[in-house]
Amino acid sequence: MSAAASAGPGGDRHHYSYAHYADRDVAEGFDVLRFSGPIGRYLLESQQALLVDALAPPRGRMVLDVGTGTGRAAIGLAQAGAHTVGVDASSEMLRVAGRRAAAAGVLLPLGVADAHALPFADRSVDAAVSLRVLMHAIDWRQCVAELCRVARWRVVIDFPARASFAALESAGRRVGNRLGGSFEAYRVMAERDVVAALARHGFRVVMVRRQFVLPIAVHKALGRRGLTETVERGLASVGLSRLLGSPVTMVGER
């Protein structure tokens, strides 16, 4: 796998989606920041269950995890029997992923590559998975095009919904950056735009899951998994999950 694609469109290594995750300290602290505590563990378990469902059965399937980061999703899929390959633009994140894969006792080939220009042949994998990537990518539609190009069966992606509380956080971070702060910005996206991008490349949406109504930061602040499950179940029962749930995980099938 070539590292030549790692510089991003136009070689823009200064864009935060590359520069932030290229930092060794960010990579080393990523799992603790995202997945520690009861809510972090709940996020991981929910993500794993969703991926297994989306790729059922994952055993024996060739799966490419694009933007694998520290390898959480890829390792889970490998443990479920998939032949998984993980790629990321950050060699520092991949260093952590390799260490985690070794500790988990799974075979996980890893390589540096850019989601905008994947070094894989057309329809060379059964499924392409990309989580928490489109929200940061320079050109998310190009990333979707690449995922669809390399997958012969399914594409699994997620994104923060425009119609959710995530939109408020996203706007707040962008304002904070303009005022001289240093915040990890991200975009929110409309479901219809993502459905249209998949359709443009011959994929129809066969599954949509919306996770939280309240922001994840709120649930982490509460720090009680049982409370999170009860509250979100109640909000879903009155239809708010369908209207405001985020992130949205979408599965496209060729």
Q: Where are the domains of the chain?
A: 4-253
Token code pair at residue 21: 């995750």
Token code pair at residue 38: 């009861």
**What sign does the dihedral 76-79-81-86 (CA atoms) show?**
positive
Question: Span 39-53, mean pLDDT?
Answer: 93
Q: Which residues pair with 210 in a beta bridge?
A: 248
Q: Other C-beta atoms within 10 Å of 204: how many?
A: 11
Residue 33 has pLDDT above 90, yes or no: no
Q: How far apart are CA 117 and CA 19, in angstroms?
A: 18
pTM reported for the whole predicted model? 0.90
For the stretch 105-164, pLDDT in tens is 999 999 999 999 999 999 999 999 999 999 999 999 999 999 999 999 999 999 999 988
159 Cβ contact partners less than 8 Å away, ≥ 6 residues apart:
134, 135, 140, 188, 189, 194, 247, 248, 250
Give the pairing of strands 204-212 and 125-130. Answer: unpaired
CATH number corresponding to 4-253: 3.40.50.150
DSSP character at residue 161: B
pLDDT of amino acid 85: 98
pLDDT of amino acid 185: 73
How many helices (H) and strands (E) the chain has is answered by 11, 7
Task: Kindly state the helix (H) or strand (E) to which residue 247 belongs, with its residue range.
Answer: strand 246-253
